[in-house]
Chain A
């Protein structure tokens, strides 16, 4: 207390001065518009710059939620643009010819959701039964094979991609016609494997692999990928082949659903075999 009094006694002059000037400045700021607003402006500038600096730091902590909000808004806006609405006016392309009878027709579709990093990956397309997409139809991309429609509703369809543990597709080497079976062992979505390709037929890195046509659902000659590495398995006499998918499934947007016009006939034939057995 004594110290406080001493302190006040010693510096009373400065305190008195500051007090009186404070009163004067208060009067100025209260009673004259221009000076008052200038003083308030100065105070706002100081506090504003401090807040700005602190905001610069704190806004990093809100980036995640802000991004989320923006993404939501984007999705909302995107759902309103024209592309989001399904056109029901498109027709399948068909060719009328007397010599060649068309076997396959194509329905173009857009990928609306996809996964590529799981063990079993599915794509969803924006075309369904009302567009002619049926179960067991093959789906191809401009660069290669995508997979098989496993389920279709009236407006959407689900595609089991080649990136699936149940995928077994008969493939052949385009150059040598040697056949094998394509599987995907998981992991990298860019790399698949070929089993049961006989090692007696020579193979080169870079050879193109296409569908063989032995699988009923897949048309013949659709590109799958290019041989990346291979090794001979001495015990089985087959190659163990790793290949690179020709299509980049991560960037995929537009695909074609392949409609096999003879599928019903083939199914009937197949059924008769089963019945005979």
Chain B
């Protein structure tokens, strides 16, 4: 358990650093905004209690906000995403399976993981950009932002998953 906590903290720091130092400087075509830190929420072990997931999501969002110009947006979005995560995860895993695992291609299979990651990322970007623009007057621009950011974030998450997550962690 202490190992799991240590791993989680390490992940938190690493993902946050990559997001802050590298990815926050990338704005492809003015629309795409890679949000790798969603991976942290995805990657949490499935046996973490819901409140812990929520607080971790809140912390990650808050960390992102501190290093971006405007406070609150990532916090609100990450909290909501983390709150929904247990529900979303339950759609993609067998509820009779009591294994402890971190959601990854290795543990879930590519299709299940991609489905789970997609729905989490879509939820996250949808909420984030809706809060950010806070109006539907430029709906097409908003949709383009959501779709392109979802796409680039998902690609990044899959790449990172295949590169760094080797096997099941118990």
Contact = CB atoms under 8 A, between A and B. Distances in A.
Interface of A: 12-13, 16-17, 20-21, 23-32, 34-35, 38
Contacts, number: 57
A12 B131 CA distance: 26
A32 B72 contact: yes
A24 B50 contact: no
B52 to A, nearest CB: 10
Say which size band chain B's interface belongs to: 10 to 19
B136 to A, nearest CB: 12
A28 B80 contact: no
Contacts of B51: 12-13, 16
Interface string B44-88: 000000110011001001000100001111011001100100000
By Cβ-Cβ distance, the 7 closest A-B pairs, closest first, are: A28-B72, A27-B72, A24-B76, A24-B75, A31-B71, A27-B71, A20-B79
A34 B132 CA distance: 10
Nearest to B61: A24
A38 B70 CA distance: 15
Contact of A25 (B55, B72, B83): B72
Nearest to A33: B70
A13 B50 contact: yes
B140 interface: no
B134 interface: yes
A16 B54 contact: yes
A24 B79 contact: yes
